[in-house]
Amino acid sequence: MSVAGATHHPQAIAYAKAGLMAILEGRYQRSRAFLERAVALDPMLGEAWRWLGALHDGSKRAICLQWAQRSIPHATIPPLPQPREVSPPAIPAAQSTPAAHAEAEPAGAATSLRSPWRTWTMATTTLVLASLVALGGFELAYADRIYPGVQAFGVSLSGMAASEAQGVLAPRLTAWAAQSLNIQAGDQQWTLPLGRLVNFDPQHVATSAYQVGRSGSWSSRLHAQGHALLRDLPVPGLALPEATLTQLLDAVAEQVDRPAQSAILHHGDDGAWLIIDDQVGQVLDRAAARQAIVDYWSSIDWAGQPHAGSLRLPVQTLAPAQTSADLQPKLPQIQAQTAAPLLLKTADQEWALERAPLLNVTQPWRPGQPIAADRTAIRAQLSELAAAYDRQPQPSMLVREGNFAREWRLPQTGRALDVDAAADLVVAELEHPSDQPLTLPVVTTQPPPGDLEQLGIIAQIGQGKSQFASYSSPNRDANVQVGGSEFDGLLIAPGEVLSFDATVGEISAAKGYALGEMIAGGVVVPSFGGGICQVSTTLFRAAFWSGLDVVERHFHSWRLAWYEVDAPPGMDATIALGGPDLKLRNNTAGYILIDVDTDLSAKTQTFTLYGTPRDIEVRMLGPDWAGGGIVITRQIFQDQNLIQEDHWASYYTQ
């Protein structure tokens, strides 16, 4: 096959060009001789075979086509052009004389004796040399000019230099660049000047015109030159660049493409459900749109008058998976399924959650069937609860100073929500609602022993409370707070007797006590620390409910109403330095730690005792009236058996 840049026999090329010139002059017999000589020297000159086939018919024509297609795969036999009129050269008239006639006969006789082949060869050589001279002059004449017959955008550029062609082409190309292409796709429309799609550069077009007949293989150059000479050859229109085509499709798709949106159920802030309508989607059919643009661009008649164009690109519609009509029958059901809050609880905490966010309302379901729970959303919600609820186990801690705990911490049992098991419970509840709270499973972890366990301080063993809002003054409140702090963190060893008076010691302004009131000799008198009996009363109640032995307790001489706000009469205890005292014995197996909380805002005081639990139950009987006094009875049970009973009588004078 003949390829670009292939080397052909130079004499064969000369014969082929001579044959083409003879065809243009209508001298078919001479052309056939030249072309046959050309293919004999170089059988791979496909263009010579094509034109030789045009001079034959029948089987010879078919053979020429077969040879042409060996070097030009899709070659065809071209039609013969109309012969061009060529004026014969002027020949001077010869003088006819007898002498001349007499000399002619021998010459004719001599010629008749020559070989016919030699005569044909001489004639052929003469014609080839003449053709070569003519073609050489043709190439030389158009060395820097566009070949005859070449045109671009309807403008003939024959014989022009490239620079001259640029000036001729410029107005035409400017007019084309200003024309618009209207593109429609779906409900969108764009108007683009053609100049934004391709570069209508006169220099580029003129250069392309100049290259006609000068690029490619020899056969392709010869074909282009001959085609231009015979029919006028237009320069192809400007090609639409691949990158521009891709960018155009991307820009259209960006504006046209939109996904289909299914109708969805939306839970409003007011708790009501509503339907957000579906929306049909659309997408640019890129393959079909690309072909439509390519076909349109190929159909443009660049030789005609510049004109605007329009093009509609195909768009595919996308149907939503779920419509508003599909959801309408489901509204009553989902409203009923999410009306009540979801109640969750553990032993020490409760939560109320909305059901709506925990249901998978995007998953299709049939009316009458429960809406599926969204396990992912449920786990996320439970994990959020667990983050606040879970805690790590911590051993106890104690910083001791003598018989006081200056800093301490009780052991903390670790706890964690079992999220997987809890999710199973929530799924079942959501899909089959009830009005009962769910108890969430909790995994507990015991801490290792710490400082307090070494003293036998393990858990709370009792608590006493009192309220002093009914008799409150700044000084009395201060005395209650300072008095309580005397016992906060106090450690009581096993078997040790706690004395209130000994623990408090001096009551003075230096310790923070203020001037209050106390009952002395049946009258109310000013006294530093007045109101400290609120503290002894609270401690007595803590000892009562902890089951501690009360070694010494005294009642007030008067029945005071502020001690009966949150307890029955007879649950008070008075003290006085150097006088009545309150004494308690630690009858447990380990130390006792006293924690005191005085809340001046709520006007309450709380004594909490920590130690070794004895698995007992404390009950109060009374108050009973006996012998003119009020009697309070304490019963202590263990395993439902009464193991201890204590009585405290109070005789108030008023």
Closest to 271 (Cα-Cα) out of 342, 328, 354, 353: 354
Rounded average pLDDT over 323-343: 86
The verdict on pTM exceeding 0.75 is: no
Beta pairing, strands 309-312 & 180-185: parallel
Between 298 and 5, where is the model more confident?
298
**What pLDDT is attached to residue 478?**
94
Average pLDDT over residues 603-609: 97
- What does the pLDDT average to over 104-121? 43
Q: How confident is the model at residue 4, as a pLDDT?
A: 41
CB 573 within 8 A of CB 554: yes
Residue 209 has pLDDT above 70, yes or no: yes
**What is the pLDDT of the chain when averaged over all its residues?**
86
Q: Phi and psi of 541, rounded to 5°?
A: -65, -35
Does residue 251 contact residue 265 with C-beta atoms inside 8 Å? no
CATH of 338-452, one of 3.40.50.1370, 3.30.1490.190, 3.40.50.20, 3.10.20.800: 3.10.20.800
Average pLDDT over residues 572-592: 94
pLDDT recorded at residue 158: 84
Mean pLDDT over 555-575 rounds to: 93
Q: Which DSSP string do the residues of 487-499 spell out, in sequence order?
A: TTTBEE-TTPEEE
pLDDT at residue 425 in the model: 95
- The confidence band for 440, taking pLDDT boundaries of 50, 70 and 90, is very high
Residue with tokens 């082409």: 169
Assign 136 to helix, strand or coil. Answer: helix
**Long-range CB contacts (within 8 A, 24+) of 288-297:** 288/313, 288/314, 289/185, 289/249, 289/252, 289/313, 289/314, 290/245, 290/249, 293/240, 293/245, 293/248, 293/249, 294/240, 294/245, 297/240
Q: Which amino acid is at 437?
A: P
Could you tell me which of 46, 71, 50 has the C-alpha nearest to residue 61?
50
Top-confidence range, 29-43, 88-102, 328-342, 482-496: 482-496
Q: Which two tokens stand for residue 623?
A: 């108050």
Straight-line distance from the first to the last Cα atom of the chain, in angstroms, rounded to the nearest whole number: 137
Of the two residues 154 and 488, the one the predictor is more confident about is: 488
What pLDDT does 277 receive? Answer: 92
In the prediction, which pLDDT does 56 show?
Answer: 92
* 646: region left, alpha or beta (phi > 0 left; psi from -120 to 50 alpha): beta
Tell me what the mean pLDDT of segment 126-135 comes to: 50
Peptide bond into 623 cis (omega under 30): yes
Average of pLDDT values for 18-38? 87
What pLDDT sits at residue 99?
A: 36
Task: pLDDT band for 231, please (50, 70, 90 cuts).
Answer: very low
Token readout for 487 is 């016992």
| Number of neighbouring beta carbons within 10 Å of residue 25 | 13
> Residue 106: what pLDDT?
39
Task: Please compute the mean of the pLDDT values over residues 25-50 and round it to a whole number.
Answer: 88
**119-128, 392-401, 428-437 — most confident range:** 392-401
Average pLDDT over residues 323-348: 88
Confidence of residue 227 (pLDDT cuts 50, 70, 90): low
Say which residue, 356 or 594, is predicted with more confidence. 594
Lowest-confidence pick of 17-21, 457-461, 502-506, 508-512:
17-21
| Interval 144-172 mean pLDDT | 88
Residue 74, pLDDT score: 81
642's tokens: 């009464």
Average the pLDDT over 65-91 and give the result: 73
Can you tell me the mean pLDDT for 40-63? Answer: 89
Cα–Cα distance measured from residue 52 to residue 39, given in angstroms and rounded to the nearest whole number: 9
pLDDT at 442: 96
**pLDDT of the residue at 286:** 94
pLDDT digits (tens, 9 = 90+) for 487-536: 999 999 999 999 999 999 999 999 999 987 777 666 677 787 888 999 99
In this model, does residue 60 exceed pLDDT 50? Answer: yes
* Mean pLDDT lowest among 213-217, 380-384, 477-481, 649-653: 213-217
- Across-strand partners of 592? 492
**Contact present, 22 and 28 (Cβ < 8 Å):** yes
The sign of the CA dihedral 333, 335, 336, 337 is positive
Q: Return the residue matching tokens 């109070």.
A: 650
Min mean pLDDT across 5-19, 142-156, 459-473 is at 5-19
Q: Average the pLDDT over 557-563 and give the result.
A: 90
**Which of 499-503, 527-531, 543-547, 589-593 shows the lowest mean pLDDT across its residues?**
527-531
Please give the pLDDT value at position 212: 85
> Looking at residues 634-643, what average pLDDT do you find?
96
| Average of per-residue pLDDT across 27-56 | 89
Domain boundaries, the chain: 338-452, 458-614
